[in-house]
């Protein structure tokens, strides 16, 4: 399935093609591709080069660890994410190693790492669906996440289901919904918060 963005201004094709399916193919993601996805995350920018991200990864071909990650998702996400060939939890380290002070950018930087991973995935024809709907306490217990770090989001990684592959109708309906985004004028501000920047308005 093709679900491209419809940008108002020219952007890179990888950004146009990136999207988050609910219905995944049974096709596995190769170990080589997965390594490259996490290599892209590795090179994401971060405050003071702290690199506060960690990933807990499980493949559907390994049922026990996969089920362990799956049980860390809220029920609504479990229903569709169980079809993905790879699941991952993102973990944020909350303090700087160099001085043990709180890292206010930690979650932001985890997001940057996932964005880099998602762009690399798109370049390889792979899709990534991010989820905030997880059970952080369950993840902490299941994977012995240490104090000073917390599970933040989950990722479903794989290939979108093709038209001839089995998938629940509700998932196909979700995937066929057109992509929508706010216009620039609603979030690019200038003189005051809420006032559209002249860069956008042309004023």
Q: Report the length, in residues, of the chain.
A: 203
Q: What is the pLDDT of residues 148-178, one digit of tens each?
A: 999 999 999 999 988 777 666 667 678 888 8
Cβ-proximal residues to 151 (8 Å cutoff; 6+ apart), any chain:
56, 72, 89, 90, 91, 134, 136, 139, 140, 143, 145
Count Cβ atoms below 10 Å from residue 85 Cβ, excluding itself: 20
Q: Which two tokens stand for residue 201?
A: 């308005």
Percent of the chain with pLDDT over 90: 85
pLDDT of res. 171: 79
Give the strand pairing for 53-59 and 149-158: unpaired
Q: What angle do CA 42, 87, 32 make, to 5 degrees?
A: 55
Domains and CATH numbers, the chain: 20-178 (3.40.109.10)
State whether residue 26 is helix, strand or coil: coil
Q: What is the pLDDT of residues 107-117, one digit of tens each?
A: 999 999 999 99
Residue closest to 86 by CA, chosen among 134, 154, 169, 141 = 154
Residue closest to 40 by CA, chosen among 106, 136, 122 = 122
**How far apart, in whole angstroms, are the C-alpha atoms of residue 129 and residue 120?**
14
**How far apart, in whole angstroms, are the C-alpha atoms of residue 40 and residue 112?**
10
β-bridge partners, 130: 155
**How far apart, in whole angstroms, are the C-alpha atoms of residue 189 and residue 140?**
39
pLDDT, mean over the chain: 94
Instruction: Look up the pTM and report it.
Output: 0.93
**How far apart, in whole angstroms, are the C-alpha atoms of residue 190 and residue 184?**
12
194: left (phi over 0), alpha (psi -120 to 50) or beta: left
pLDDT of res. 166: 65
Q: Which two tokens stand for residue 24?
A: 């995944």
Q: What is the pLDDT of residues 39-77, one digit of tens each?
A: 999 999 999 999 999 999 999 999 999 999 999 999 999
């Amino acid at each position: 399935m093709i679900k491209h963005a419809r940008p108002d201004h020219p952007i890179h094709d990888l950004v146009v093609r990136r999207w988050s399916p609910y219905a995944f193919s049974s096709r596995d993601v190769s170990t080589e591709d997965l390594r490259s996805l996490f290599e892209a995350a590795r090179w994401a920018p971060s405050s003071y080069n702290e690199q506060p991200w960690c990933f807990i990864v499980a493949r559907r071909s390994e049922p026990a660890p996969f089920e362990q990650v799956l049980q860390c998702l809220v029920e609504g996400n479990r229903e569709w994410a169980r079809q993905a060939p790879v699941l991952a939890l993102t973990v944020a380290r909350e303090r700087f190693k160099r001085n043990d002070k709180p890292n206010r950018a930690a979650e932001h930087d985890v997001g940057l790492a996932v964005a880099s991973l998602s762009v690399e995935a798109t370049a390889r024809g792979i899709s990534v669906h991010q989820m905030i709907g997880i059970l952080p306490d369950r993840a902490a217990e299941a994977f012995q996440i240490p104090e000073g770090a917390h599970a933040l989001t989950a990722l479903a990684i794989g290939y979108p289901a093709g038209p001839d592959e089995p998938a629940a109708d509700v998932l196909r309906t979700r995937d066929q919904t057109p992509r929508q985004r706010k216009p620039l004028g609603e979030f690019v501000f200038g003189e005051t918060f809420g006032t559209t920047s002249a860069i956008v308005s042309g004023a």
